[in-house]
Amino acid sequence: MDIASVEGLDGLSIGGLASELKLSKSGVFAHFGSKEELQLATIRAARDVFMARVVSPARAAPPGLGRVWALCEAWLAYGAEPVFPGGCFFFATSAEFDARPGRVRDALAEANKDWVLFGQSTIDEARHLGEISGEIPSAQLWFELYALARAANTDALLHGDKTVFERARTGIRNRLQAVATDPSALA
């Protein structure tokens, strides 16, 4: 996961992995069966990390606007920490494979879909609890919030400037306050 976040899932070579693990190349190869299976296994492992670092902390917060906010905060912390040396694993690898059809892209697309649906569901909860007013669709609002978080990830890496995470946080807070029935809840 660390290698792939920096060098990409194609840059993750079986031989390179073997020498880092002090195993033979064919020994590592036998564990996966093909490079594509290694890539898919890496994606599965990264989903587990993402669940533990981002989704689970947000689920610990009570449903409502606070959980939406907790989810965004957890994502920003995950991007800024950084959990992976190349920033968000899914950002790096999705940009690599988004125009290359195959099982790797399909796995990344499915992971992204699950994430987006979870984000939307936290917004739906907040709406049903009466904490969000206005007619903006949950899909639209989540797209906007997640867009700000992702933008901070690249900008921070490309310019070596972590302050952009604060910029994303500001944008997300402003956006949520604009739709909140009680804006002071996010102050």
Partner DNA sequence: CCTACCGATCGGTAGG
Residues engaged in binding DNA (CB under 7 A)? 12-16, 18, 23-31, 34-36
Q: Please choose, out of 15-23, 25-33, 41-49, 143-151, the segment that lies near a second copy by the rule CB under 8 A.
A: 143-151
Answer whether 70's CB lies under 8 Å from 57's CB: yes
Structure tokens, 132: 């969000």
102 touching a second copy, by CB under 8 A: no
CB of 177 to DNA, least distance (A): 47
Nearest-5° Cα angle at 71, 181 to 136: 40
170 touching a second copy, by CB under 8 A: yes
CB of 84 to DNA, least distance (A): 19
CB of 146 to DNA, least distance (A): 31
Instruction: List the end-to-end C-alpha distance of the chain, in Å, as a whole number.
Output: 36
CB of 167 to a second copy, least distance (A): 5
Rg (CA), the chain: 18
**Residue 132 Ramachandran class (φ > 0 left, ψ -120 to 50 alpha, else beta):** beta
CB of 154 to a second copy, least distance (A): 6
Helices then strands, each counted (H, E), the chain = 10, 0
Q: Please choose, out of 4-12, 33-41, 56-64, 124-132, the segment that lies near a second copy by the rule CB under 8 A.
A: 4-12
The DSSP-derived string for 60-73 is TSPSSHHHHHHHHH
Nearest Cα neighbor of 54 from 72, 68, 74 is 74
Where along the sequence are the contacts to a second copy (CB under 8 A)?
Answer: 5-8, 10-11, 85-87, 91-92, 94-96, 98-100, 105, 108-109, 112-113, 139-140, 143-144, 146-148, 150-152, 154-155, 157-159, 164, 167-168, 170-171, 178
